């Protein structure tokens, strides 16, 4: 006889699993997302991703793995990129959150988004929050980052369509346009 | 209730309008609906095209965009054939209440189906001709003297009438004309252009609506609770174990299927994690270390694709006989986003927003699972994360429908990473054995090929929900494959899985449909039972077979010290395949580089060649791969790919280039690092630590793509050409660099080092 649990720790035969204590602490929280304030009532342990997707109805950050392994849920917190699937909303405080939607619009894309358009740098596009925001955060901090540094920064990001070549070209195009060498 | 007509008029805000409109199903004419009812008759023009009073056009297609760019290309196709601007066309994809049944979007068939002589292209051409006839009547002119452009018809004297004036919002009431004139390639103004992806602006700005972003009023969140191991059966569920979870709506148990539904995703995840289920243990899995030997011992269902009857005799007489055995592991679709669907199952009708490649088959299977007629189920395609074949899309749609039925409210279900990776239909594991005889001049005089393919389930089709995990847990068996001996081949060869090497004459059923010249030939396939679910994964079996065929061809050339390109051409008859072989060799300056690779210090460089006639006649590709092999670490690094592709007339050169480039790198990932792993009980590669994929820090090789477009050929599939030749070209390049032959994919550093060592021992022996 075995019992089922979720996540990494698949049950071992015969081992009982203690119940988690009741956790439902819906608390008021004010979030600053893409320049706007939102008040939500959620369990502070809820991953930020679910609040952004299900409460704020944002489409940019998306669930990929729930374990901070792939980058599909990436958002910016201040000037840093974080994995919103592994970030309890209660720990966000009043930090400014920026999602892919917060950079530009289809009518008026941010220059890095425009660079991706110019290079046709996507296939299914599910990974773009991780790719674009990670590159932007790096180049905000280090405008003259080398190609190798850009690749290093993207080491935690997956694109399963393998549009890598075009994405790197788009990032280089954006870098070179704002920081001519 | 909304009619299809109203739907077409209001096209644009598709999903939203339907959700708020009460999910109306509608019945129009019943066409050739024999086996599976569709209210859209594909023989009727109105099933495909509607021209509106504002001059816009709605076109309906049963082939959907999975990230491969077919939305843009099909929009170009309609604009081209109908002579309207690209912006005027609204394309509606894959919705069982709106679009005709075109089966699955799979197998590189969308372009052949919709761009050649049938369906969408023909409908658009029929509509153009019909509008020209109407204009002829309007002007009192002969239709042949009129021209159509930008949504209007112009007479020789300059009079002009817009389509909207001629037809605006009325039905055509015409059959699709099988002889409607297609616009020729030299007339194209929209097709053949590198139109940027129409979905790109929404994608880069995060506003694109994936199925993961579908939100329905009153929607709850579900999670499934899968068995802990293969073959485990449910004994009991302790619902009390989740009683303390606030927001829990329901625990759904049916046969071996278990799922939880809650007000929020977070509560659903906690409930799924906390729910105590008792399962009986499943059988032990065959050990991974000896799995391929195990496969070859299993009872099998056999098929002979070609058998000239003289292979044994020819091999006995040959000057030299070479043998080799190749293996390919289970691999994953490993979609970046775990699969998701939203279902709203009500008493009288059900609506499912699904990322499936097959809306009509999925509708039929869901109807079976819900025990209601297919007409009361509507499946609407909404794009998911790139799928590359049968990922969890169909399974999650079944699960979502069952959960929604169980709770009586709309349910959004997204798998966890582990649900996805542990239970998806993996790409088939294979063993391929070759025996080839060479004559005195080194040419191939006989070739015997045998392979073993591990199969369990596949696409569910219209009535096999048990072909994916959800159906099995709900009590449906996967399609059976009773062991059976092979019968002599009587049919003409259709090389749909590229089982037959390109160099075979392929003679069967009174025709020789192979691409090559080897007359003494036998190809025997054994399908055996897989412990895991399997299904089509980008270039299904084609990549496995081409890896083995093209590497073995390289072995034959090497055995007689022949140039691999010259040796291939010596045995190839098919002109289109020869065309790409020569084009790739020329672009890569193959001749000047022929011979053994070079070594400096610990690094060895080499180049390898591979080619394919995809599915026999559905796209042609030849690839030169330049690699560096690190002799100490065993790391293989491709530095340049030079590829020639012939897929006939190209709808969108940039879209095609994107597919070719992505395929090369996906092929590299699969050749070098991707492999499903398991222990005695379960799959262990259930996240991105356990299942390796090349990440965005990978140093991408330079890529040079050459398109070969012969005159007077039809468009073929293209999206699976480059990936198919990549593993073989890499394997051959490693051999060229080091003399080590890799016959087991992926070419991990450990396997490369082992092959290097074996090569050294062989040389010193």
* pLDDT at residue B39, rounded to an integer: 72
Q: How far is residue B147's CA from residue B251's CA, in Å, rounded to a whole number? A: 63
pLDDT range class, residue B112, cuts 50, 70, 90: confident
Contact across the interface for B687 and A24, Cβ inside 8 Å: no
Strands of B89-93's sheet in order across? B49-51, B57-61, B89-93
- Domain limits, chain A: 27-102, 111-178
Tell which B residues from 548 to 577 touch A, by Cβ distance under 8 Å: none
| Residue in chain A nearest B236 by alpha carbon | A3
Mean pLDDT, residues B397-416 taken together:
98
- CA B46 to centroid of chain Cα atoms: 29
Domain membership of residue B259 (yes or no) is yes
Domain membership of residue B414 (yes or no) is yes
Q: Which residues contact A165 (CB under 8 A, 6 or more apart)?
A: B661, B665, B700, B703
* pLDDT at residue B105, rounded to an integer: 87
> Does the fold of domain A111-178 match that of domain A27-102?
no
| Residue in chain A nearest B201 by alpha carbon | A106
pLDDT range class, residue B168, cuts 50, 70, 90: confident
Q: Is the pLDDT of residue B15 over 50?
A: no
State how many domains chain B has: 4
Classified as helix, coil or strand, A123 is: coil
What is the percent of chain B where pLDDT is above 90? 89
Residues B548 and B671 in one domain: no
CATH of the domain at B697: 3.30.365.10
Chain A residues touching residue B193 (CB < 8 angstroms) = none
* pLDDT at residue B109, rounded to an integer: 82
- Judged by a CB distance cut-off of 8 A, whether residue B341 touches chain A is no
Please, what is the average pLDDT of chain B?
A: 93
pLDDT range class, residue A18, cuts 50, 70, 90: very low
Chain A residues touching residue B201 (CB < 8 angstroms) = 106, 109, 117
Q: Is the pLDDT of residue B34 over 90?
A: no
- Judged by a CB distance cut-off of 8 A, whether residue A99 touches chain B is yes
- Homologous superfamily in CATH for domain A111-178: [2Fe-2S]-binding domain (1.10.150.120)
Q: Which residues contact B243 (CB under 8 A, 6 or more apart)?
A: none
Residues B255 and B294 in one domain: no
Domain membership of residue B243 (yes or no) is yes
Residues B344 and B395 in one domain: yes
Is the Cβ–Cβ distance between B49 and B172 less than 8 Å? yes
Mean pLDDT, residues B516-522 taken together:
98
* pLDDT at residue B481, rounded to an integer: 87
Domain membership of residue B569 (yes or no) is no
Residue at which a domain ends, from B378, B399, B423? B423
Classified as helix, coil or strand, B343 is: strand
Q: Which of the residues B66, B67, B195, B204 would you substitute to probe the A interface, choosing the one with the greatest number of A C-beta atoms within 10 Å? A: B204
Q: Which of B362, B549, B383 has its CA nearest to residue B461?
A: B362
Question: Within 10 Å of residue A176's Cβ, how many Cβ atoms?
Answer: 12
Residue at which a domain ends, from B423, B457, B488? B423
Tell which A residues from 102 to 141 touch B, by Cβ distance under 8 Å: 103-106, 109, 113, 116-117, 120, 122-129, 131-132
Q: How far is residue B507's CA from residue A122's CA, in Å, rounded to a whole number? A: 43
Domain membership of residue B567 (yes or no) is no
Tens-digit pLDDT profile for residues A41-89? 999 999 999 999 999 999 999 999 999 999 999 999 999 999 999 999 9
| Residue in chain B nearest A158 by alpha carbon | B695
Contact across the interface for A54 and B205, Cβ inside 8 Å: no
Contact across the interface for A103 and B205, Cβ inside 8 Å: yes
Whether a cis peptide bond, with omega within 30° of 0, leads into B746 is yes
Residues B151 and B199 in one domain: yes
* pLDDT at residue B7, rounded to an integer: 56
**Is the alpha carbon torsion for B354, B355, B360, B366 positive or negative?**
negative
- Judged by a CB distance cut-off of 8 A, whether residue A157 touches chain B is yes
Residues B231 and B348 in one domain: yes
Q: Is the pLDDT of residue A4 over 50?
A: no
The first and second tokens of residue A29, run together, are 């929280």
Fold classification of A27-102 is Ubiquitin-like (UB roll) (3.10.20)
- Judged by a CB distance cut-off of 8 A, whether residue A79 touches chain B is no
Q: Which of the residues B696, B698, B723, B726 would you substitute to probe the A interface, choosing the one with the greatest number of A C-beta atoms within 10 Å? A: B696
| Residue in chain A nearest B278 by alpha carbon | A3
- Judged by a CB distance cut-off of 8 A, whether residue B201 touches chain A is yes
Residues B402 and B316 in one domain: no
Tens-digit pLDDT profile for residues B443-493? 999 999 999 999 999 999 999 999 999 999 999 999 988 999 999 999 999
* pLDDT at residue B417, rounded to an integer: 98
Between residues B115 and B166, which one has the greater pLDDT? B166
Domain membership of residue B568 (yes or no) is no
Give A32→chain B minimum CA distance, Å. 18
pLDDT range class, residue B116, cuts 50, 70, 90: confident
Give the β-pairing of B411-414 and B220-224: parallel
Chain A residues touching residue B67 (CB < 8 angstroms) = 123-126, 161
Residues B309 and B339 in one domain: no
- Judged by a CB distance cut-off of 8 A, whether residue B110 touches chain A is no
Classified as helix, coil or strand, B628 is: strand
Contact across the interface for B698 and A151, Cβ inside 8 Å: yes
Residues B341 and B479 in one domain: no
ipTM of the complex: 0.94
Chain B residues touching residue A173 (CB < 8 angstroms) = none
- Tell me the whole-structure pTM to 2 decimals: 0.93
**For residue B583, what are the domain limits?**
574-765
């Amino acid at each position: 006889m075995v019992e089922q649990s979720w996540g990494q720790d698949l049950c071992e035969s015969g081992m009982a699993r203690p119940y988690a204590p009741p956790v439902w602490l819906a608390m008021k929280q004010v979030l600053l997302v893409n320049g706007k304030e939102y008040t939500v009532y959620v369990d502070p342990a809820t991953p930020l991703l679910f609040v952004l997707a299900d409460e704020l109805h944002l489409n940019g950050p998306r669930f990929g793995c729930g374990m901070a392994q792939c980058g599909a849920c990436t958002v910016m917190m201040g000037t840093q990129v974080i994995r919103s699937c592994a970030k309890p909303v209660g720990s966000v405080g009043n930090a400014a959150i920026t999602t892919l939607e917060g950079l530009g619009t289809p009518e008026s894309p941010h220059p890095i988004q425009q660079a991706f358009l110019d290079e046709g740098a996507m296939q299914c596009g599910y990974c773009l929050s991780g790719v674009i925001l990670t590159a932007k955060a790096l180049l905000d901090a280090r405008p003259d980052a080398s190609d190798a540094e850009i690749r290093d920064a993207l080491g935690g990001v997956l694109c399963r369509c393998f549009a890598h070549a075009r994405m790197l070209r788009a990032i280089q195009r954006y870098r070179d346009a704002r920081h001519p060498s | 209730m909304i009619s299809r007509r109203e739907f077409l008029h209001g096209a644009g805000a598709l999903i939203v309008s339907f959700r708020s409109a009460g999910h109306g199903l509608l019945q129009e004419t019943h066409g050739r609906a024999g086996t599976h009812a569709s209210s859209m008759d594909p023989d009727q023009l109105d099933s495909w095209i509607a021209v509106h009073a504002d001059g816009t056009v709605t076109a309906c297609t049963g082939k959907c965009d999975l990230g491969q760019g077919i939305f843009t290309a099909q929009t170009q196709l309609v604009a081209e054939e109908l002579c309207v601007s690209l912006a005027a066309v609204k394309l509606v994809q894959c919705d069982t209440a709106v679009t005709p049944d075109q089966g699955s979007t799979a197998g590189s068939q969308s372009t052949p189906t919709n761009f050649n002589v049938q369906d969408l292209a023909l409908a658009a051409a029929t509509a153009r001709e019909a509008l020209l006839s109407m204009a002829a009547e309007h002007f009192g002119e002969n239709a042949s003297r009129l021209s159509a452009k930008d949504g209007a018809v112009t007479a020789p004297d300059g009079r002009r009438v817009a389509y909207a004036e001629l037809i605006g919002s009325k039905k055509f009431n015409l059959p699709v004309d099988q002889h409607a004139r297609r616009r020729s390639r030299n007339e194209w103004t929209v097709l053949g252009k590198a139109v940027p992806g129409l979905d790109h602006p929404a994608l880069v700005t995060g506003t694109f609506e994936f199925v993961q972003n579908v939100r329905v009023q009153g929607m709850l969140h579900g999670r499934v609770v899968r068995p802990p191991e293969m073959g485990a059966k449910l004994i009991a569920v302790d619902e009390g174990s989740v009683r303390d979870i606030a927001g829990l709506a329901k625990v759904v148990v049916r046969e071996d299927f278990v799922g939880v539904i809650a007000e929020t995703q977070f509560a659903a995840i906690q409930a799924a994690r906390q729910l105590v289920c008792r399962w009986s243990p499943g059988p032990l899995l065959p050990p991974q270390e000896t799995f391929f030997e195990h496969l070859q011992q299993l009872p099998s269902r056999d098929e002979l694709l070609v058998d000239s009857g003289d292979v044994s005799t020819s091999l006995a007489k040959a000057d030299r006989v070479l043998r080799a055995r190749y293996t390919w592991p289970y691999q994953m679709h490993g979609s970046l986003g775990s699969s998701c669907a939203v279902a709203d199952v009500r008493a009288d009708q059900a609506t499912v927003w699904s990322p499936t490649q097959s809306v009509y088959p999925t509708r039929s299977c869901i109807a079976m699972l819900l025990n209601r007629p297919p007409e009361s189920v509507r499946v609407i395609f909404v794009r998911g994360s790139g799928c590359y074949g049968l990922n969890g899309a169909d399974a999650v749609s079944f699960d979502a429908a069952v959960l929604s039925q169980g709770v009586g409210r709309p349910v959004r279900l997204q798998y966890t990473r582990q649900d996805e990776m542990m239970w998806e239909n993996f790409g088939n594991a294979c063993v391929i054995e070759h025996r080839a005889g060479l004559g005195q001049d080194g040419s191939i005089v006989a070739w015997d090929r045998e392979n073993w393919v591990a199969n369990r389930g596949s696409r569910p089709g219209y009535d096999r929900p048990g072909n994916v995990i959800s159906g099995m847990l709900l009590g449906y068996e996967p399609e059976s494959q009773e062991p059976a001996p092979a019968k002599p081949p009587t049919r003409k060869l259709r090389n749909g899985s590229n089982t037959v090497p390109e160099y075979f004459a392929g003679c069967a059923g009174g025709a020789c449909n192979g691409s090559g010249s080897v007359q003494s030939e036998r190809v025997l396939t054994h399908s055996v039972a897989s412990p895991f679910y399997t299904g089509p994964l980008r270039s299904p079996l084609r990549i496995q077979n081409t890896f083995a065929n093209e590497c073995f061809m390289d072995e034959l050339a090497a055995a007689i010290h022949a140039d691999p390109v010259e040796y291939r051409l010596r045995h190839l008859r098919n002109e289109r395949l020869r065309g790409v072989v020569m084009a790739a060799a020329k672009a890569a300056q193959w001749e000047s580089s022929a011979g053994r690779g070079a070594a400096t210090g610990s690094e060895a460089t080499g180049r390898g060649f591979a080619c394919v006639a995809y599915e026999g006649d559905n796209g042609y590709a030849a690839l030169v791969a330049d690699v560096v092999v690190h002799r100490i670490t065993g790391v293989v690094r491709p530095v340049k790919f030079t590829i020639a592709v012939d897929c006939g007339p190209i709808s969108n050169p940039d879209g095609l280039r994107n597919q070719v480039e992505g395929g090369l790198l996906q092929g590299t990932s699969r050749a070098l690092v991707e492999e499903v792993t398991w222990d005695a009980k379960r799959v262990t590669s259930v996240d991105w630590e356990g299942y390796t994929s090349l990440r965005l820090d990978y140093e991408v090789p330079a890529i040079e793509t050459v398109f070969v477009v012969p005159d007077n050929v039809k468009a073929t599939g293209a999206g699976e050409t480059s990936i198919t030749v990549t593993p073989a070209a890499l394997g051959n390049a490693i051999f060229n660099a080091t003399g080590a032959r890799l016959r087991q994919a992926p070419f991990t550093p450990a396997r490369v080092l082992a092959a290097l060592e074996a090569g050294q021992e062989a040389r010193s022996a």
